[in-house]
Amino acid sequence: MSGYILIRTTHATHEEATKMARLLVEAGLCKCAHIAKIESLYIWDGEFCHENEFSLSVKASETSFGEISKIIKENHKYEVPEIIATPISAISVDYLAWLEE
């Protein structure tokens, strides 16, 4: 185990995703953020929804999950934002060294 996780959340607009990424990177909670346009199909309030969204992924230390979750919840437009963390079980030595700088 690397001690790092990949945290994912989604946003309605590119601007919202960029704002969140900037908050997390500038707070020093992650070194890097990726934003990608995605298509989401889901049920909300009993209704079928089909939307374009923007996925935000950040690599961070496992110990940062609580603080990152708090920032996402405090600054997110969604009532229930997606906040999912996946352990990074394998990572290149060079990339890990960069994360740990």
pLDDT tens digits for range 67-86? 999 999 999 999 999 999 99
Q: Supply the range of the domain harboring residue 24.
A: 4-100
- pLDDT for 1 equals 55
- The number of distinct structural domains making up the chain is 1
Sign of CA dihedral 6, 33, 40, 77: positive
| CATH (domain of 50) | 3.30.70.120
Q: Residue 101: pLDDT above 90? A: no
The whole-chain average pLDDT of the chain stands at: 95
Cβ-contact 9, 20 below 8 angstroms: yes
Q: Tell me the per-residue pLDDT of 11-64, one tens digit each, with 9 for 90 and over.
A: 999 999 999 999 999 999 998 999 999 999 999 999 999 999 999 999 999 999
Residue type, 7: I
- Enter the pTM of the model: 0.91
